[in-house]
Amino acid sequence: MKKKTILIILLLIALLSIFFVLNKHKKTEKTEILKKPEVLIEKKKEIQKETKSEKQEQTKPETQTKQKKELKTKDENNYTWDELKIQPKYMPEGVYYTFTAFDVAGKTTVLAGNFDNKYIIRFFEDNKISDVEIKDMPQDILYEKGNLYVLCYKHLYILKNKRIIKDISFNIPYISLFDKLLFFDGIFNVLMSDGSAFQLIDDKLVRKKYLMTKDNTAVWVKKTSAKSFEIRTNPDNKNIDRAKTYKNEIGSITLIGNSSDDYYCIIDIIENNTTGNIKRVISSYKDNFETEKQILPKRTYSDIKNDIKIHNNILYFVIVNKNGLTLKFKKL
């Protein structure tokens, strides 16, 4: 009888223990459920705090400056000499020879020069290089309306889709005195340093006393003193369109391109006669050359004769250094 009583007592104790454990588990679940809204509220507060912190970070001057710098990098393309397959060569003049001329054809950067003892027009796009070999040393190149014009000492090549479609021979002994190739008012010109120009007419370079427009209007840029210059239309009739005087002495003035309603010049401003420090600026005819639309970099590592091009109101210019080439572009 005693054994039976003891078993019953032990059974009751076991049942009570099971009931206690189950009841405690339910209370814990209920407590956790009650806690959930508080957890959500705390989480919401944390998210709001993080969002506020991000907004504050975005408005910090140093953050905005960093963002501006990141945006600026979109206005330039950088290439190393290895990417371009160019080996800079030190010259007796104290600079490095890298390439002779450049231009931009859509998304393609085009370079011309003497590469590996060959006269080459090099097309670079999406890390791919295409070369076109020519017979003469390129002096300048110009891309216009799907064609690439290549001026050499004895030849003017015209390329389309990276193929030579015309090879125009000429014999102009002083052609190396040119300033630049220029499409002005839709006409191809080899602009000379004395203000004259060679126009391409019926596959021949024909000399003109002045730069001419489509309506046969002559345009002439003339330095009138150490500190001034003027631009004339129909110079023989002495019509002055623009006259500009600077505080400092000026060096050369070069017409570099035009848009639908304006044209642009590079003016060399001599900031210090003793040191020979020169500031190269781009200004426009439309605002009477009052605004410096772009101050151009000094050329110390490699001297490229024409380091500026203008297409569709966009200015392109190159900066050359020991590591490679930076191509910058800016809307005018």
User: Two tokens at 324?
Assistant: 């490679």
Q: What is the pLDDT of residue 312?
A: 86
In the predicted model, what is the mean pLDDT of residues 82-87?
96
The whole-number pLDDT of residue 245 equals: 94
Place of tokens 């990276």: 162
Average pLDDT of the chain? 82
pLDDT at 57 over 70: no
The partner residues of 319 in beta bridges, in order of sequence, read 326
Q: Burial code of 69-84, b = ≥16 C-beta within 10 A, e = fewer?
A: eeeeeeeebebebeeb
Mean pLDDT (whole number) for 130-147: 96
Tell me, what's the pLDDT at 65? Answer: 45
Residue 109, pLDDT above cutoff 80: yes
Share of the chain above pLDDT 70, in %: 76
Confidence of residue 20 (pLDDT cuts 50, 70, 90): low
Confidence of residue 207 (pLDDT cuts 50, 70, 90): very high
- Residue 135 tokens read as 């017979």
In Å, how far are 28, 64, 67, 76 from 70, measured between CA atoms?
54, 10, 5, 11
Q: Is the pLDDT of residue 316 over 50?
A: yes
- Residue 177 contacts residue 162 (beta carbons within 8 Å): no
**Over residues 72-83, mean pLDDT:** 83
Res. 5: pLDDT tops 70: no
Per-residue pLDDT reduced to its tens digit, 40-53: 445 445 545 544 55
Single pTM value for the model: 0.75
Question: Is the pLDDT score of 79 beyond 80?
Answer: yes
- The reported pLDDT for the residue numbered 301 is 94
Helix (H, G, I), strand (E, B) or coil at 303: coil
Q: Which of 55-64, 134-143, 207-216, 311-320 has the lowest mean pLDDT?
A: 55-64
Mean pLDDT computed over 24-35: 44
Distance of CA 241 to the CA centre of its chain: 32
Q: Regarding predicted confidence, which is higher, 67 or 193?
A: 193
| Helix 61-72 and helix 2-59, axial crossing angle in degrees, nearest 10 | 70
pLDDT of 285-305, one tens digit each? Answer: 888 899 999 999 888 899 899
